[in-house]
């Protein structure tokens, strides 16, 4: 697995964006405390063991090294991550309750008629931590040995195959629906509350295919229990460079980029640069905010 790079910009951004309200509050109530003065909670809207959860724990470990304070990953799955999203959106903007999510936090704004939060109004983006994509994987026992064989099987048996996902509105769900659209197939969606139960269903043979992040599913592909047929992205993944892209395997137009990032309650970002000069990146790091997605790890 590639190492985590560019942690200096990550901690700088974290402190710049979320420290200011805590500093302002202590200025009026007594001597200022260094941030963080207590453990930080990092909420994840999926079950443990999936791509979002794994990346969150990698980040929490590195932040502990740099901050000297525990960053506790707390899983609150359900409602397509809306449970965790709403909790953080309504939390105090003091830097001690943060959200780690994927594009699901934005996708839900159009998926649900009345989402319990507004992604633009209620959150302040801290940083993109890493970028990735999803793999189309099937059980090793499935007759289809290639992407074209899977498409042929699905066309021959419309509605007979099932696919699992980490939940409605997840990138896995949207990638599978896009795949169905591009291939003219009918495959039934079975949503779960995260990648871990989705993978378990795949391993048990309850479903016949899924789009899953390579970080979460890599061990099962390497062990031979699952077979990776294609990458739903513009390029191959460095974790499994032998797996072709959808386009290379013969299916055009199935590219679903995926990012993992950290957000804070919206008020956490107000006047942060002016109030937290010690945490501002040095002059030679000009433009770091625009480069974070390129500097961070890519799976």
Instruction: Report the C-alpha gap between 280 and 259 in whole angstroms.
Output: 24
DSSP 78: -
At 101, which helix (H) or strand (E)?
Answer: strand 97-101
CB 23 within 8 A of CB 32: yes
Q: Which two tokens stand for residue 150?
A: 């899977």
What average pLDDT does the chain have?
82
Q: Phi and psi at residue 49, in whole multiples of 5°? A: 100, -10
Cβ partners under 8 Å of residue 176, min gap 6: 163, 165, 187, 189, 209, 210, 211
Considering just the CA atoms, what is the radius of gyration of the chain in Å? 20
What's the pLDDT at 291? Answer: 31
At 202, which helix (H) or strand (E)?
Answer: helix 195-204
Bridge partner list, 72: 41
Q: What is the pLDDT of residues 185-214, one digit of tens each?
A: 999 999 998 889 999 999 999 999 999 999
**pLDDT-derived band at 292, boundaries 50, 70, 90:** very low
HSE-CB at 8 with a 13 A cutoff on CA atoms is 6
> Which domains, ranges and CATH numbers included, belong to the chain?
7-132+258-295 (3.40.190.150), 135-249 (3.40.190.10)
Instruction: Report the C-alpha gap between 230 and 244 in whole angstroms.
Output: 5
Q: What is the pLDDT of residues 257-279, one digit of tens each?
A: 889 999 999 976 443 323 333 33
**pLDDT-derived band at 298, boundaries 50, 70, 90:** low
Q: Are strands 71-75 and 40-44 parallel, antiparallel or unpaired?
A: parallel
């Amino acid at each position: 697995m590639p190492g985590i790079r560019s942690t200096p910009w990550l901690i700088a951004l974290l402190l710049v964006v979320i420290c200011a309200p805590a500093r302002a509050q202590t200025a009026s109530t007594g001597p200022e405390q260094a941030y963080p003065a207590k453990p930080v909670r990092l909420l994840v809207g999926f079950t443990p063991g999936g791509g979002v959860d794994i990346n969150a724990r990698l980040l929490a470990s590195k932040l502990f090294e740099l901050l000297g304070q525990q960053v506790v990953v707390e899983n609150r799955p359900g409602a397509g991550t809306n449970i965790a999203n709403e909790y953080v959106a309504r939390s105090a903007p003091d830097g001690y309750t943060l959200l780690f999510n994927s594009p699901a936090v934005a996708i839900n704004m159009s998926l649900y008629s009345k989402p319990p939060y507004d992604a633009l109004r209620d959150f302040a983006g801290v940083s993109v931590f890493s970028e990735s994509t999803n793999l189309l994987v099937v059980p090793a026992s499935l007759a289809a040995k290639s992407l074209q064989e899977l498409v042929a099987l699905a066309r021959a048996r419309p509605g007979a195959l099932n696919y699992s996902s980490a939940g409605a509105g997840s990138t896995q769900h949207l990638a599978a629906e896009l795949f169905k659209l591009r291939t003219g197939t009918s495959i039934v969606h079975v949503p779960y509350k995260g990648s871990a139960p989705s993978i378990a269903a795949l391993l048990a043979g309850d479903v016949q295919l899924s789009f899953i992040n390579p970080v979460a599913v890599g061990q099962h592909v390497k062990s031979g229990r699952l077979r990776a047929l294609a990458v739903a992205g513009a390029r191959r993944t460095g974790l499994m460079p032998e797996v072709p892209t959808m386009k290379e395997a013969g299916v055009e137009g199935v590219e679903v980029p995926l990012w993992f990032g950290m957000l804070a309650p919206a008020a956490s970002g107000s006047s942060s640069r002016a109030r937290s000069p010690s945490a501002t990146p040095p002059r030679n790091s000009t433009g770091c905010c625009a480069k974070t997605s390129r500097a961070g790890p890519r799976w």
